[in-house]
């Protein structure tokens, strides 16, 4: 069984919201618009997207999630719980798109996975 949110073998064709032409490499904004991603999910996706496939530490994702909060967000425990719920919903929205977020390993963070990048070791 494929890991939830890891993406599909091929990327689903995405059209530009402005000109309606197919795009070969979608931007973050196109993905957010096409899959109706919520603002919190967009901040998570944006943090991982900026990592360009490299691991992004969870703390950096938390910073992106609560960038507008003058107090820096809730306690770390609540932050992590909110992150896990939002990540689960985001993975569901992106299911079948060829775009996914995978856990890199214990305390190593998360990374963006695009179609064709899923390795057998990452499936489970």
CATH architecture entry for 38-114: Orthogonal Bundle (1.10)
Q: How confident is the model at residue 124 (pLDDT cuts 50, 70, 90)?
A: very low
Q: CB–CB of 93/35 below 8 Å?
A: yes
pLDDT of residue 116: 58
Average pLDDT, the chain: 83
Q: Across the chain, where does the E strand assignment appear?
A: 14-15, 22-23, 99-105, 109-114
* CA–CA separation, 37 and 116 (whole Å): 22
**Model pLDDT for residues 25-76, shown as the tens digit of each residue:** 788 998 999 899 999 999 999 999 999 999 999 999 999 999 998 888 899 9
Put simply, whether the predicted model's pTM sits higher than 0.95 gets the answer no
* CA–CA separation, 28 and 42 (whole Å): 8
pLDDT of residue 22: 76
């Amino acid at each position: 069984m494929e890991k939830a949110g890891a993406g599909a073998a091929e990327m689903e064709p995405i059209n530009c919201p402005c000109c309606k032409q197919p795009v070969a490499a979608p931007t973050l904004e196109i993905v957010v618009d096409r899959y109706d991603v919520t603002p919190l999910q967009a901040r998570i996706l944006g943090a991982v997207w900026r990592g360009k496939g490299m691991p992004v530490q969870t703390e950096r994702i938390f910073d992106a999630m609560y960038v507008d909060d003058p107090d820096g967000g809730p306690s770390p425990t609540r932050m992590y719980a909110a992150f896990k719920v939002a990540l689960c919903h985001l993975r569901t929205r992106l299911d079948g798109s060829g775009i996914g977020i995978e856990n890199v390993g214990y305390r190593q963070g998360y990374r963006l996975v695009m179609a064709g990048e899923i390795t057998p070791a990452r499936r489970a």
